Structure formats: C-alpha cells, structure tokens
C-alpha cells in the first residue's frame, strides 16, 4: 500500500472507530481524521501545534477480520478472484489498524476447518495476519463443502473480546437465519461491519456460452436468452440485498467490494461514509 493511500485510510479509520477507554496515556500531534473532541488544548497552546489526547483502549483496540472462505469465494471473471479481493481488503484493514495503534487479529473459516489469530500489535501483527491470509486463501487448497455463516459467527461471538471492531468478509452465499441471533449479540458490545465480495458477472451475465464448475462438476451455461439473463439478474439483486438488510437491521456497517475495485479506495470511502452516518 502506498503511503498517501495508507495515510488517508488510517485517517478515515481513526475518525470512525475512536477508542472507548477513558485512561489518558499521552498527547501527540493532531492527524487528519482525529476527533476534535479529544483535542488537548493546553498542549496545543503551549507548543503552538495542534495536539490530541490518546487513551489506552483507543491505542490498543482489538480489530478482527473474519474471512469466510467457502468454495464460492474462489470465483472471478475480471481482474482477480473474489478470494484475492477478500485477502487484499483484509490486508488493507490490517495496515490501517496498525497505523492507528490497534491490535489486529483474524478468524479464518472454511467449511470443515478454522484458524484463529489472536490480536497482536505492530507490524508483526499485520504481517502475521497477512501471512495467514495467503496460506488460507491459496487457490491450490480450496476447501470443499459449504458451511453456514452462522457457525462461524457463533465461534467468533464466544471468542471475541467486548469493545472490538469486527469486519466480516464474505460473499454471503452461505447466509442463514441463525445469523440474526449471532449478529445481534455481537453488535451489543462491538462495532461490526459486513464486507460483501462480488464479481460483476454475479450481477449481470453477458450473452453467450460459458463453461462453469463448482469444483466437482462441470457444465456449459447458455445465456443467449434474454429472459434467462433477466431472471438471473433479479435473483442476484435479491441475494445482494438479503445480507445488507440483515446487517442494517442490527445496526451494523455495510460495504460492497467488487473484484474490479481497488480495496484501499473502497475501504477508505466506505469508512468516511460511515462517519457521516454515525
């Protein structure tokens, strides 16, 4: 990530997710995106430079990326696979958290397996999460089967520390009704954001014949008929709205990343929009 992009992203992150602690630790130079309510006016007057107060939990808030690596994530028609986009988004979050002074961890899920990386601070924490993502999302190790998202959320709910920021990265093809209960409980003591990963072809199919596979079986998909394409588009739109409605119902944040998007730009933009709504 280049320095200007990283700085802008960290600023948006900082503005949205200031810490909840009350233990004053130090004053430091004001950075764009800092909450003006935390300005240290005494130090500002003495030094002639804007300073802001830092609190203990604000510096060390646990940030968790939850990556749902079901087989449907290993799909892509333009620029990158959804799994790659998910990994890049998680990496951008990790670096933003580290620049903010928070601790970054991850829950990596697959149909019959999972891996937990406890929140760790500094560059070491970010690199640990990124290496875990590289290993977990390796296309040569596609996880077979399909597991409901609720099982992953339940595990996160029992392990997460209250006051955490949780970003759930998935295509949400495995959404189920039990997710309501777990999201509601997670949201009681944490900030939660859903991050939907999509490929453009999942919303609009071009006309033609295309080979498709679920990893076990292959077939040819004929999309020449306009009626079939429109039916697909309606189903796709409904799929996109279901998880969004669920997250918004529980007052969680929401963002969409397509495989053609720049993850850093999308994350920075969406965090700034969430600031306006918060």
- In angstroms, the first-to-last Cα distance of the chain is 27
Question: What does the mean pLDDT of the chain come to?
Answer: 85
**Strand partners for 1:** none
Task: Report yes or no: 60 and 103 within 8 Å, Cβ to Cβ.
Answer: yes
pLDDT at site 37: 84
Number of domains in the chain: 2
Q: What is the span of the domain harbouring residue 118?
A: 61-277
Task: Report yes or no: 65 and 169 within 8 Å, Cβ to Cβ.
Answer: yes
pLDDT tens digit sequence for 185-214: 999 989 999 999 999 988 877 788 878 766
pLDDT at site 235: 81
Write down which residue in 38, 57, 76 finishes a domain: 57
pLDDT at site 16: 55
Give the residue-averaged pLDDT of 95-102. Answer: 86
**Strand partners for 257:** 197
pLDDT tens digit sequence for 143-165: 777 789 999 999 999 999 888 99
Are residues 95 and 37 part of one domain?
no
pLDDT band at 12 (very low <50, low <70, confident <90, very high): low
15 backbone dihedrals φ, ψ, rounded to 5°: -65, -40
The model's pTM is: 0.77
What is the C-alpha R_g of the chain? 20
Are residues 272 and 146 part of one domain?
yes
Are residues 198 and 253 part of one domain?
yes
pLDDT tens digit sequence for 230-239: 887 888 777 7
pLDDT band at 56 (very low <50, low <70, confident <90, very high): low
Closest CA to 236 of 99, 118, 113, 72: 72
Write down which residue in 35, 57, 79 finishes a domain: 57
Which CATH number goes with the domain that contains 151?
3.40.50.410
Task: Report yes or no: 25 and 59 within 8 Å, Cβ to Cβ.
Answer: yes
Q: Rounded distance, CA 165 to CA 44, Å?
A: 30
Are residues 71 and 127 part of one domain?
yes
Task: Report yes or no: 74 and 67 within 8 Å, Cβ to Cβ.
Answer: no
Are residues 53 and 66 part of one domain?
no
Give the residue-averaged pLDDT of 92-118. Answer: 91
Q: Rounded distance, CA 266 to CA 261, Å?
A: 7
DSSP string, 173-186: TT--TTHHHHHHHH
Are residues 7 and 88 part of one domain?
no
Give the residue-averaged pLDDT of 31-44. Answer: 86
Q: Rounded distance, CA 185 to CA 182, Å?
A: 5
Are residues 112 and 92 part of one domain?
yes
Does residue 276 register a pLDDT over 70? Answer: no
Write down which residue in 40, 57, 74 finishes a domain: 57
Give the residue-averaged pLDDT of 78-103. Answer: 92
pLDDT at site 137: 94
Q: What is the number of residues in the chain? A: 278
Are residues 88 and 176 part of one domain?
yes
């Amino acid at each position: 990530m280049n320095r200007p992009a990283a700085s802008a992203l960290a600023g948006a992150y900082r503005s949205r997710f200031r810490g909840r602690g009350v233990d004053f630790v130090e004053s430091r130079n004001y950075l764009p995106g800092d909450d003006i309510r935390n300005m240290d006016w005494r130090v500002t007057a003495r030094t002639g430079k804007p300073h802001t107060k830092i609190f203990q939990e604000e510096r060390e808030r646990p940030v968790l990326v939850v990556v749902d690596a079901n087989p449907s994530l290993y799909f892509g028609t333009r620029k990158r696979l959804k799994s790659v986009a998910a990994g890049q988004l998680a990496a951008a979050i990790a670096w933003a958290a580290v620049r903010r002074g928070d601790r970054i961890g991850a829950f990596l899920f697959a149909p019959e397996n999972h891996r937990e990386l406890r929140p760790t601070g500094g560059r070491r924490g970010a690199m640990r999460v990124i290496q875990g993502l590289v290993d977990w999302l390796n296309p040569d190790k596609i996880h077979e089967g399909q597991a409901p998202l609720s099982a992953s959320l339940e595990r996160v709910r029992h392990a997460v520390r209250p006051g955490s920021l949780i970003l759930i990265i998935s295509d949400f093809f495995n959404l189920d009704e039990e997710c309501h209960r777990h999201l509601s409980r997670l949201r009681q003591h944490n900030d939660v954001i859903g991050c939907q990963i999509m490929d453009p072809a999942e919303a609009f199919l071009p006309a033609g014949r295309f080979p498709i596979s679920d990893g076990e079986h292959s077939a040819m998909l004929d999309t020449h008929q306009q009626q079939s394409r429109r039916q697909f588009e309606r189903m796709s739109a409904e799929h996109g709205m279901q998880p969004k409605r669920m997250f918004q119902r529980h007052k969680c944040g929401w963002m969409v990343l397509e495989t053609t998007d720049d993850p850093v730009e999308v994350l920075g933009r969406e965090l700034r929009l969430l600031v306006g709504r918060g």
